[in-house]
Amino acid sequence: MTKVKEVVERFEKFAPKEIAEPGDPVGLQLGSLSAEIKKMMVTLDVRPEVVKEAIDQQVDFIFAHHPAMFHPVKHFDLTVPQNQMYAELIKHGITVYAAHTNLDNAPGGMNDWLAAALGLTATSSLLPLKEESLDQLCVYVPRAAAATVRQALAQAGAGSIGNYTGCSYSAVGTGRFLPNQAAQPLIGQANQPSQAAEEKLEVFVRPRLVGQVIQAMLAAHPYEEPVYYLVPVHGLNQKYGMGRVGQLKHPLTVEKFALMCKQTFKISGLRVISPDLNQIISRVAVLGGSGAQFYPAALQAHADVYLTGDVTYHTGHDILAAGLTVIDPGHHIESICKPNLKRLFEKWRSENDWQFPIITSRLNTDPFKFI
C-alpha cells in the first residue's frame, strides 16, 4: 500500500512548501502522513459538503488547494459547523493535505493553468521572481566507503536537481589527522600522525531535507568524527513567482474578453472595472485567488487588463483612477486545479506504480450566485 507521505514527497518536488508565502498554513491539515491510501480525492475547498462527498465515495485522502485550517481551533465546540467537519474527518480516518500558495507560485502550477486556459502566450511572472533556497553539503569520506555514503545521501533525498536524482561530485585527496589517546580511529593509531586517501563528496540538499540527509550520512560514515559542512547556494536554484502576464492570440475588446472569461471558467457572472468596455486589449495579467492588492504590478507589466478575484469597493476606485481595467471572475475559478492536479497525480501514479484510484470532487463550492 502507498502511504500519504510518498505522494506528498512527490508533490513537494513539484511545489515545495518552502515556496509558499510566509504564514500560509500549507501541508498536513488533519490525519497522518503514515496513513495508507486506498482512494484519493482532489478538491479546491474542504467544506462540510466536500467531506460528506469524500465519505460517500470511501475516500481516505483529500488533497486540497485551499487549506482546511486557516486559523487554529481554540475551542472544539461541535455546534460550530467547521469543527463538526473536522470531527467527521477524524471519525472516518480521512487525511487532509493542502497546497495553497506553493501551488500558486510553482512553475507549471495554478497561475500557469489559468494563463493556459486564457490562451496567453509569451508568459512571464507577474510579481518579482524569488529563488528557492538550496544548500550544498560537503563531507570527507575514506575512498573505500565513498560509494556507501554516496548511496545513503541519495536515498535520503540529497542530489535531486530537476529531473535528475543522485547527483553528486567527488574530488580525491589526502586527509591528515592526529588521533588523541581517547580516540578510536578507523585508520591509524592513537598519538600517531596518520593520513588516508579520501573523497570529498558534494551534494545539493533542499533545506527541509537537511536533517534527514545528515542523519543518513552519519549512519553510513565509518569515521568516529566525520568532517562535513553545509553552505547556502545561490544562482542555481529554481525561480518562482506569483501570477502571470502574457499576450492574447488576438486582440479583443474588454467586453468580449469578459464574455470569453465567463465561458472559459464556466461562471454565470463576473465584475468588470473599466473606463471603456470597447477598449482593445491584448496584454493580460492574471493572478488566481485574491490578488487585488497587486494591481500596481499589472500596471508595471504594461498589462491592458488584470484578471483576479475578490476586488473590494475602494480598491476598485483606485484601479479606475490608475487607468487599469480589471476583470473579477471570483475566487472559485481556481477550481481549474481539480482536473490539472488529477492529471499530475495520475502521471506520478503511473511512474511510481501507486495502486489507488484518484477522483476529483464534483461539487461546486462557490458561495456566490448571480441572479
String of DSSP letters for 167-226: --EEEEEEEEE---TT---SSS-TTS-EEEEEEEEEEEE-GGGHHHHHHHHHHH--SSS-
Share of the chain above pLDDT 90, in %: 85
pLDDT score at 302: 98
Confidence band (pLDDT; 50, 70, 90) for 244?
A: very high
To 5 degrees, how large is the angle CA 83–CA 86–CA 90?
Answer: 140
pLDDT tens, position by position, 190-241: 888 989 999 999 999 988 899 999 999 999 999 999 999 999 988 776 789 9
CA distance 52 to 30: 16
Model confidence at 329, pLDDT cuts 50, 70, 90, reads very high
**Which of the 8 DSSP states describes residue 309?**
E
Q: Which residues of 69-92 are buried (b: 16+ CB within 10 A; e: fewer)?
A: eeeeeeeeeeeeeeeebbebbeee
Pull the grid cell for residue 121: 502566450
Question: Which of 317, 313, 324 has the alpha carbon at shortest distance from 274?
Answer: 324
Residue 268, pLDDT > 90, answer yes
Q: Which is more confident, 21 or 161?
A: 21
Comparison of pLDDT for 84 and 192, the residue scoring more: 84
Q: What is the pTM of this model?
A: 0.84
Buried b (16+ CB within 10 A) or exposed e, 179-196: beeeeebebbeeeeeeeb
pLDDT score for 160: 83
The pLDDT > 70 percentage for the chain reads: 99
pLDDT at residue number 367: 95
Name the residue type at position 298. A
Q: Mean pLDDT across the stretch 87-115?
A: 97
Q: Domains plus CATH for the chain?
A: 4-105+335-360 (3.40.1390.30), 110-129+241-329 (3.40.1390.30), 133-232 (3.30.70.120)
Q: Give whole-number Cα distances, 124 to 74, 129, 240, in Å.
A: 42, 10, 10
Closest C-alpha to 254, from 277, 272, 283: 277
The DSSP letter of residue 66 is: S
pLDDT at 58 over 90: yes
Indicate if the pLDDT at residue 174 is higher than 80: yes
